[in-house]
Amino acid sequence: MRIFRKFIAMKKLLIIITALCFLSSLTNAQLWKFRRYEVSAGIGPTQFFGDIGGYSNDKNLLGIKDFSFSHTGLNIYTCARYRITEDVSARVNLVFGIFHSTDAGGSNENRGFESSTIFFEPSVIGEYYFIKNKGENSFKFQKGNETVLRSMFASLDFYAFAGFGGLSYKVMPNSTLAPYATNTSGFTGVVPLGIGVSMIYSGKINFGIELGGRFTFSDNLDGYTSAKSTANDVYHLLNFTITYKINTGKNGLPVFGK
């Protein structure tokens, strides 16, 4: 009888332990919901591809020679993000920056066209995380008390993104380009596409790198449209980012200061 009672007691204990482990794993799987809101900021270079500068097709290897330091500008980026599911997020982007275009070093170097373009790009973007880190479902990370996972790879998120937006721009042509400028200001649509990687530093902070291309509906972002042009302008943004994750309250709204 005593052995039977011990067996029953051990069986109950085993059931309780199993239930607790199940509930713990279920809870841990949802910990990301405590920080569904994020804000990010970043800075990096722009690379512009228009009708000024660059190389003709017979002198260009798959467009590689069009990547040029002389066509590099600067952008400053900020966004607000909401995590819809563990793997899917939506964000609102704001980007300020400058493009630079010049014939120097290209196929039309003797033409001497050059321009700088100030731009503002608002957009709405969806993100899909095809590889997720292993740390965000840790209580220590959610409380912000733990930094840098032992395994670097385990701390990384990899994601792809796409969206739609607009671009407001103002072109400043040089004196050679000015008489031939086709348009010096306007607003056009853009389609962002790209990839990114983010590393969790703590429960509240991420660092990341993001590379995105923008396909535009305009061929005047450098102030000039060539008679031989067959495509609209394109530009790339490379951003080094920092993200702050905001605590989500019981009502589902962000709670600042926690």
- The token pair at 250 is 């019981």
The 3 state secondary structure assigned to 202-226 is CCCEEEEEEEEEEEECCCCCCCCCC
pLDDT at 237 over 70: yes
For range 238-249, the mean pLDDT: 89
Q: What is the mean pLDDT of the chain?
A: 81
What is the H or E stretch that residue 235 is in? strand 234-248
For range 195-207, the mean pLDDT: 90
Q: Which pLDDT belongs to residue 120?
A: 98
Place 11 in a pLDDT band, splitting at 50, 70 and 90.
very low
Place 23 in a pLDDT band, splitting at 50, 70 and 90.
very low
- The token pair at 164 is 């739609």
Q: Which pLDDT belongs to residue 201?
A: 86
When mean pLDDT is compared across 94-98, 121-125, 142-146, 230-234, the lowest value belongs to: 142-146
pTM of the predicted structure, to 2 decimals: 0.79
Query: Can you say whether the dihedral through the CA atoms of 70, 71, 76, 80 is positive or negative?
Result: negative
Amino acid residing at 13: L
**pLDDT tens for each residue of 46-104:** 999 989 987 554 443 334 456 577 789 999 999 999 999 989 999 999 999 999 999 98
Q: Which pLDDT belongs to residue 215?
A: 95
Domain map (residue ranges) of the chain? 36-255
When mean pLDDT is compared across 91-100, 116-125, 148-157, the lowest value belongs to: 148-157
DSSP 175: T
pLDDT at 211 over 70: yes
Q: 190-220: buried (b, 16+ CB within 10 Å) or exposed (e) per residue?
A: bebebebebbbbbbbebebebebbbebebbb
pLDDT at 252 over 90: no
Q: Which pLDDT belongs to residue 8?
A: 53
Query: Is CATH 2.40.160.20 the classification given to domain 36-255?
Result: yes
Q: How many CB atoms neighbour CB 79 within 10 A?
A: 20
Q: Which pLDDT belongs to residue 20?
A: 40
**pLDDT tens for each residue of 155-183:** 899 999 999 999 999 999 999 999 999 99
**pLDDT tens for each residue of 130-139:** 998 876 665 5
For range 221-247, the mean pLDDT: 93
